Every structure is written in structure tokens, then in C-alpha cells.
């Protein structure tokens, strides 16, 4: 049976502050990725990398470790609470930013980036978990869209921050800025973030219980297709992130305008998330995300054909931005649908889903990035193939039917009993 979700009494934050704080937590992880993009060339030169594609590891290693680290914060938060996990993660982020800043070799930088990626996994898992503690269904999708819209401010400004720092100082100062911003978020969370874990949902730190809860999430048909489908489409996006500076900045000749163009794409995606927050409760998360997935596949196929015939910078940017907008419509809605059956084990479910989504997405993204051949063709081919794969997976979760408004049969059958 589905246990109804009672909101924690006297929640101290209004919606605006809650959305801003959850977005800020996710933004710290995004900042660690996007602010580095303009600096990859400078790091490659300063640390004397032999292979130009090695610079992509600064992003790729971070993303893979973020996925691996996702296995742990949810289970810990189901036992000790959401608040302590959030605060420890932010504090570690500050220390690792300092270590990255003083790294004297590419190997040490990669190690520090990997550990930072693992730590920041909590900053993606915890907002999902806290949001599930408070809301469910289309309301959760609406609030997640508002969080994503606010979160998109970071991809808009982060590359420009990185580019500005490079004009006046070295790339190491970028990590100093990251640490300082994390300090501000830490103080805010310390003063204002309450504990949202329902006392009766607290889970013991028992490997059998944790493994059982995660296994439950992985076996739930209604969720499986959505988080695996999200992993595929996110893999294509990670592939674009890994090679964006080389593709847009160098191949298409954007040069120093690359951060501005990257930020413009993020601005349009933010508007898409706002639009999703306005329509999702009216039309339902399934209808909106299914339409977006079909449009994504069609756009990617058209774009791939144009890439083989030859395309310019603006054609690429317009079509890629439209594809990213479709991902915005899919992201929040896929996440809400996948987490819906797991009120009692939201932390463990969010962790294992993030693990699969980010690790699979990061590995696929790294492979796409390493296949870069001075053209957009590898990225676009991956978008077509992975989009079709996501469609098959969603059809599996939906028992072969798209655009339904109600939950499929047996949606709540795997609700676990409360563990004490």
C-alpha cells in the first residue's frame, strides 16, 4: 500500500527560499564542472599534457566519481538524517577546492577532482531526497522544475566566471572562488535547513537493509525505465560537455565567446524548466516528458543529417539548444516519476538511481568525448541512438503505452515495511 506523505510540521522555509537552497546545493556540483570549461586549455598548457584530449579527464573523472559516490549519501541520510549529510558534504567540498588549487601535477589534480566528485554526489542526492520527503507526484515534478530553473543560473554564469578569472589570474584561483561560494552555502544551510526525515521512516545502518532497499528500487519496473532512460540521454549531454570547448570554441571558432554562448544555452534551458513547472500539474509528468522524448529523437536525427552535409556555428547552437530544452522537460519529470513509489526509502532510492544515472551517463559521455573527431557527428549520433534506447525503456516501464496520466498497474506494490 502507498503510505501518504505528511509534510513535516512548521517547516521554516517558504517555497522561494526552499527552492533557492536546494538549487544552491545542486549548483555547487554544477559549478565544479562548468566553471572549469574555459580553463581546460590553460590547465593543459600549464601542466604540459601530451594529448589534448587528456584535458577532458578533468570533467570525466569528476562525473564518474560523482556517480560512484551516489551509492552512499542516501543510505546514510535514511539513518542519520538529511541535514548532517548535507553539512559534511559542503565542508569537504571547501577543503577539496583548496587541494585542487595547490595541485602541482595533473595526477594529483585528477585525484582531488575524483574525491570532490564523490563528495558532491550528496549535493545531487540530498535535494532529490528532501524534495521527496515533502512532496510527491506532479507537485514534486513542479517543484523540481523550479529548482532546476534556479539551478540553471550556474551554467549561465559559471563559464563566464572562469573566463573572467583567466583574464586577471591563473586557473588555480577558480578553485578558490568555488571554496568561497561553498562557505556561503554552508552557513545558510547551517542556520536554516531543518531535518526532513520522517522519524518513522528512519532505516538502520545494516548492509542487508541498505542492499535490500536499493535492490527494491532497481527491481521496480515503474521506475527502472525512467532512470535508465535518463542515464542514456544524460550520457549524450555529458559527451557534449566533455568536448564543448573543443567543438564550439575551437572547431566552430567561437573563441572567447564560447562562455557567452554556453550561458545563453543554459538561459533557454532555465526558461524551459519554468515552462515545465507551469504546465506539469495540468498535463501530468508523463505526457509532458513523453512528448519531449519523441521531439528530442526527431531533432537529433535532423541535426545528424545536417552535420553530415556540413553546418555552421549558429545552426549547431540553435538545434543543440532545442535538444537540451527537451532534456529539461524530461529531467525533472523522469526523476519525479521514478521516485514516486519510494516514500519510505527515498534516500536509498535516490542514491541508487543517481549512481546508475551518473556513472552510466559519465562513462558514455567520456567515450563520446574521446571519440571527438573535429566534428559534431559523434555527439549527434549518440543522441539519436540513446534517445531511441530511452524510448524503449520508458515503454517498458509504462507497459507499452505512452501519454497515460494515471500510474501503471502495480505502481505501489513494492512499498517496503518500516524498518526500526
Q: What's the CATH code, domain 15-397?
A: 1.20.1250.20
Residue of 275, 283, 130, 279 lying closest to 192 (CA atoms) = 130
Q: Is the pTM of this model over 0.85?
A: no
Query: What pLDDT score was predicted for residue 5?
Result: 45
Give the tens place of pLDDT for each residue, 281-311.
Answer: 788 889 999 999 999 999 999 999 998 888 8
Query: What pLDDT score was predicted for residue 406?
Result: 62
Residue of 295, 299, 284 lying closest to 333 (CA atoms) = 284
Residue of 186, 206, 171 lying closest to 91 (CA atoms) = 186
Crossing angle of helices 346-370 and 377-397, rounded to 10° = 150
Give the tens place of pLDDT for each residue, 66-101.
Answer: 878 887 887 788 788 889 999 999 999 999 999 999
Give the tens place of pLDDT for each residue, 122-154.
Answer: 888 888 888 878 877 677 777 877 777 766 677
Q: Band of the pLDDT at 252, cuts 50, 70, 90?
A: confident
Q: Count of CB atoms within 10 A of residue 409's CB?
A: 9
Give the tens place of pLDDT for each residue, 322-331.
Answer: 998 898 889 8
Extents of the domains making up the chain: 15-397
Residue 124 CA neighbour count, 13 Å, CB half = 30
Mean pLDDT of the chain: 82
Q: How far apart are CA 128 and CA 149, in angstroms?
A: 15
Contacts of 12 (CB under 8 A, 6+ apart): 192, 194
Distance of CA 7 to the CA centre of its chain: 26
- In Å, what is the CA distance from 218 to each residue of 127, 202, 222, 274? 20, 20, 10, 30
- Span between the terminal Cα atoms of the chain, in Å: 19
Amino acid at each position: 500500500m502507498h503510505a501518504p506523505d505528511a509534510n513535516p510540521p512548521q517547516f521554516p522555509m517558504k517555497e522561494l527560499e526552499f527552492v533557492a537552497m536546494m538549487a544552491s546545493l545542486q549548483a555547487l556540483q554544477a559549478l565544479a564542472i562548468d566553471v572549469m570549461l574555459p580553463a581546460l586549455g590553460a590547465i593543459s598548457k600549464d601542466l604540459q599534457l601530451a594529448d589534448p584530449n587528456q584535458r577532458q579527464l578533468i570533467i570525466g573523472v569528476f562525473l564518474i566519481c560523482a556517480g560512484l559516490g551516489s551509492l552512499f549519501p542516501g543510505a546514510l541520510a535514511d539513518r542519520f538524517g538529511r541535514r548532517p549529510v548535507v553539512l559534511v558534504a559542503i565542508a569537504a567540498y571547501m577543503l577539496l577546492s583548496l587541494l585542487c588549487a595547490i595541485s602541482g601535477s595533473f595526477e594529483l589534480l585528477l585525484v582531488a577532482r575524483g574525491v570532490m566528485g564523490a563528495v558532491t554526489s550528496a549535493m545531487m542526492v540530498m535535494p532529490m531526497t528532501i524534495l521527496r520527503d515533502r512532496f510527491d507526484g506532479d507537485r514534486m515534478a513542479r517543484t523540481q522544475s523550479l529548482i532546476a530553473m534556479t539551478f540553471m543560473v550556474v551554467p549561465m554564469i559559471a563559464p563566464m566566471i572562469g573566463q573572467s578569472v583567466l583574464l586577471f589570474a591563473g586557473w588555480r584561483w577558480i578553485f578558490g572562488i568555488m571554496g568561497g561560494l561553498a562557505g556561503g552555502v554552508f552557513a545558510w544551510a547551517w542556520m536554516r535547513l531543518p531535518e526532513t526525515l520522517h522519524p518513522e521512516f528512519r532505516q538502520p545502518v545494516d548492509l542487508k537493509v541498505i542492499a535490500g532497499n536499493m535492490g527494491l528500487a532497481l527491481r521496480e519496473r515503474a521506475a527502472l525505465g525512467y532512470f535508465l532512460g535518463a542515464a542514456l540521454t544524460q550520457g549524450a549531454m555529458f559527451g557534449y560537455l566533455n568536448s564543448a570547448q573543443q567543438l564550439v570554441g575551437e572547431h566552430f571558432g567561437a573563441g572567447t565567446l564560447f562562455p557567452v554562448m554556453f550561458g545563453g544555452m543554459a538561459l533557454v534551458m532555465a526558461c524551459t524548466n519554468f515552462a515545465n513547472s507551469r504546465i506539469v500539474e495540468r498535463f501530468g509528468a508523463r505526457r509532458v516528458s513523453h512528448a519531449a522524448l519523441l521531439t528530442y529523437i526527431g531533432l537529433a536525427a535532423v541535426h545528424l543529417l545536417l552535420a553530415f552535409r556540413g553546418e555552421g556555428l549558429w545552426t549547431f547552437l540553435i538545434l543543440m539548444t532545442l535538444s537540451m530544452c527537451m532534456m529539461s522537460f524530461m529531467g525533472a519529470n523522469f526523476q519525479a516519476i521514478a521516485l514516486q513509489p519510494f516514500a519510505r526509502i527515498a534516500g536509498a532510492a535516490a542514491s541508487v538511481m543517481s549512481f546508475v544515472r551518473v556513472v552510466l551517463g559519465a562513462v558514455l559521455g567520456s567515450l563520446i568525448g574521446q571519440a571527438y573527431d573535429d566534428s559534431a557527428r559523434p555527439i549527434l549520433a549518440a543522441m539519436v541512438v540513446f534517445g531511441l534506447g530511452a524510448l524503449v525503456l520508458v515503454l517498458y516501464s509504462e507497459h507499452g503505452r505512452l501519454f497515460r496520466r494515471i500510474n501503471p498497474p502495480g505502481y505501489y506494490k513494492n512499498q517496503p515495511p518500516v524498518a526500526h
